[in-house]
Amino acid sequence: MNKNFDVIIVGMGPSGLVLAGLLANYGIKIGIFDRKESTVNEPRAVSIDDESLRILQSCSLHEAVIKNISQNYGSHYYDAKGKLFLKVEPNTFENGFFKRNAFDQPTFERTLRKNLESKKNININFSHTLVSLKNESNRVIANFKDSKGIKKSFLARYLVGCDGGQSTVRDLIGVVMKGSTFNQKWLVVDIYKTRNFFRHTQVYCNPKRPSITLPGPNGIRRYEFKLNHGESSEKVSEDFTRKLLASVGVDGQAKIRRSQIYQFHALISSEWKKKSVFIVGDAAHLSPPFAGQGMNSGIRDVGNLGWKLALAIKKPKSKDILETYFQERKDHCWALINLAIRMGNIMAPKNTLDSFFKASFFRLIKINKTLLSYVSQMKYRPKPKINTGLIFFHGKETRDDKKLIGTLFPQPLVQDKKGILSSLDEVLGNKFSLVCYIKNHETYSSLEKHLNNLSKTCKVVILLNQSCMIFPSRYKVVRDFNNLLENMETRVPEDSVLLIRPDKLVSAICKKNNLHYLSNLLNNNEIFSF
């Protein structure tokens, strides 16, 4: 046996690298392995959303990543005649970041890797191919072969497969994927030094040749073209590719970085956990690219799993919490896959008539401000709400309470007593916390005396409405600086205490007269104090 770890991670793509960063923050001993010689050099994913950046924030990686991304882009849709029929330009900021951002995956992975290299509790191993597993209920033995053919065995409490759509880990634990593979093929072309400086995605919904162009940082750009029947890989020459580029803009002669034909899938694995082995990201689910959620779904997976693994390692009696990973993630993941399929149907109409009706529908919704906001602000994107798992109800919740439980708590910019500004997540930290949202001094005074028992288990943060004066307190007090919570469609209940999970999902909500329920919950379960 070469070395022991708490967690072995197989795969150094975005999901694996982010998971390692999350676990490192909890002091977990990690071995991370990849069959490649290094992180990727070619472009793959191109979009990172606000929820992913928020997860990166939890392991202090967001600032380094943001330096190399193009923030806040939308999508413009054009009909078969090239006329604009829809603009999607989200400007809401409920997670503390812009909803859509363009990035370069090689740069992204190098940034994450550099961060990991500075961590003493992470052991990085490239050119190591996983060949076999011994998966038991309380440990995993992973057998690798290095670039010289030398076999090495490693022992860990858990192993996580982040090794992509062709996952070796998934195959070794005998998990199958279910769903559909699309017959249509697309040509994806990445270029350097674009001359198209339009900051939004352009979607040409032309049934003769659906195509998409997406912006990127530092002069890179991506083009995607649907291939018609008979256009095989043998016929997709450089000359053919340049004609396609020229057909949708000014980049016909641009330097091509990569040209690749893809066939898309809508697949999800039947299980994401077997004994002590987990799968995440593309190893667990594959999505068409049209919603830009493939990589982002993988980062959400590790955002859900990471703190649970840390908890199970630090408090082994709490390992049952790991059963909630698949339970909490599968529905949201499948909802995003279905969204991608629907968006693909809009982008690639069957014929001219289909194109006309779809464009006409979206032109009509401009009459209705509610519908227009729903589309233009990307409210159609399914939020990561969970309806089962690690959430708690005491039976006296209001309608708004029930809407909030199991969702991401908003992340406003907050101001402390000294006037210092920060993001709420920075104040809450990476463990369970209690947020007391209050609007007036009287409620504050009556709540504070009930918080002593609660504070023995979790960090307590007093979150004030923007109009509140800063009240003296033994607990951390911050003000909603931009009044974000007041402007949310689903209102955060006033004068409430909310139990917030490490992944910033709302786990429970109680008013002053129900705080005994919350106290009993916290004091009778060790998971909340890890």
Tell me the DSSP string of 116-185: HHT-TTEEEE-SEEEEEEEE-SS-EEEEEEETT--EEEEEEEEEEE---TT-HHHHHTT--EEEEEEEEE
Residues 403 and 336 in one domain: no
Stated as kind and residue range, the H or E segment containing 259 is strand 256-269
Residue range(s) defining the domain that contains residue 483: 399-529
Q: How confident is the model at residue 1 (pLDDT cuts 50, 70, 90)?
A: low
Fill in the amino acid letter for 134: K
Residues 35 and 174 in one domain: yes
Residues 49 and 124 in one domain: yes
Q: Which of 298, 327, 343 is the last residue of a domain?
A: 343
> In this model, does residue 441 exceed pLDDT 80?
no
- Do the bridges between strand 476-480 and strand 459-464 make them parallel or antiparallel, or are there none, so unpaired? parallel
Residues 286 and 412 in one domain: no
Which of 6-15, 308-317, 470-479 is predicted least confidently? Answer: 470-479
Residue 233 in domain = no
> In this model, does residue 280 exceed pLDDT 80?
yes
Q: Which of 343, 374, 409 is the last residue of a domain?
A: 343
Question: What average pLDDT does this structure show over 252-277?
Answer: 96
Could you read off the pLDDT of 94-146 as tens digits, one per residue? 999 999 999 999 999 999 999 999 999 999 999 999 999 999 999 999 999 99
pTM, entire model: 0.96
Of all residues in the chain, what percent carry a pLDDT higher than 90? Answer: 82
Angle at 374 between CA 368 and CA 377, to 5 degrees: 120
Question: What average pLDDT does this structure show over 388-392?
Answer: 95
> In this model, does residue 495 exceed pLDDT 70?
yes
> In this model, does residue 439 exceed pLDDT 90?
no
**What tokens does 406 get?**
């199991």
Residues 325 and 419 in one domain: no
Question: Residue 487: its pLDDT value, please?
Answer: 82
Say which CATH number the domain at 474 has. Answer: 3.40.30.10
Could you read off the pLDDT of 398-409 as tens digits, one per residue? 888 999 999 999
Could you read off the pLDDT of 186-221 as tens digits, one per residue? 999 999 999 999 999 999 999 999 999 999 999 999
Q: Which of 343, 374, 391 is the last residue of a domain?
A: 343
Residue 253 in domain = no
Residues 326 and 452 in one domain: no
- The domain total for the chain is 2
Contact assessment for residue 344 and residue 288, using Cβ atoms and an 8 Å cutoff: yes
Q: How confident is the model at residue 473 (pLDDT cuts 50, 70, 90)?
A: confident
Fill in the amino acid letter for 67: K
Residue 21 in domain = yes
Q: How confident is the model at residue 449 (pLDDT cuts 50, 70, 90)?
A: confident
Residue 199 in domain = no
Given phi > 0 = left and psi -120 to 50 = alpha, else beta, which region is 149? Answer: left
Q: Tell me the average pLDDT of the chain.
A: 93
Residue 193 in domain = no
> In this model, does residue 234 exceed pLDDT 70?
yes
Residues 403 and 330 in one domain: no
Q: How confident is the model at residue 16 (pLDDT cuts 50, 70, 90)?
A: very high
Could you read off the pLDDT of 245-262 as tens digits, one per residue? 999 999 999 999 999 999
Residues 302 and 428 in one domain: no
> In this model, does residue 445 exceed pLDDT 80?
no
Residues 174 and 281 in one domain: yes
Residues 319 and 441 in one domain: no
Q: Residues 6 or more apart from 508 whose CB is under 8 A from it?
A: 391, 392, 393, 394, 405, 498, 499, 518, 521
CA distances from 84 to 101, 349, 358, 373 (A): 22, 15, 12, 17
Say which CATH number the domain at 160 has. Answer: 3.50.50.60
Q: How far is CA 166 from the centre of its chain?
A: 21
**What tokens does 392 get?**
């708690």
Residue 508 in domain = yes
Residues 336 and 416 in one domain: no
Question: Residue 5: its pLDDT value, please?
Answer: 97
Residue 381 in domain = no
Could you read off the pLDDT of 283-327 as tens digits, one per residue? 999 999 998 999 999 999 999 999 999 999 999 999 999 999 999
Residues 485 and 336 in one domain: no
Residue 450 in domain = yes
- Do the bridges between strand 151-161 and strand 277-279 make them parallel or antiparallel, or are there none, so unpaired? parallel
